[in-house]
Amino acid sequence: MLYWAVVCLIIAIIAGVLGFGGIAGTAAGIAKILFFIFLALLVISLVVNAMRGKGPKV
């Protein structure tokens, strides 16, 4: 999921440089939503693993 957020961010940057404001704004919005979903799933995963007594794999 983080991969897709980065892909959308790169698309937004390229579209912004080329002058496609609408596409850049949409891609940046999608990247932001995917990033926050990724963060929420990461926190949930860390909490569940902590409650099980397992530490994060290094």
H runs (alpha helix) in the chain: 2-18, 21-52
- Long-range CB contacts (< 8 A, 24+ apart) of 16-22? none
Structure tokens at 46: 């860390």
How many whole angstroms separate alpha carbon 6 and alpha carbon 41? 16
For 6-35, how does the pLDDT look when each residue is reduced to its tens digit (9 = 90+)? 888 888 888 888 888 888 888 888 888 988
The confidence band for 40, taking pLDDT boundaries of 50, 70 and 90, is very high
Report CA Rg, the chain.
Answer: 16
pTM (whole model) above 0.75: no
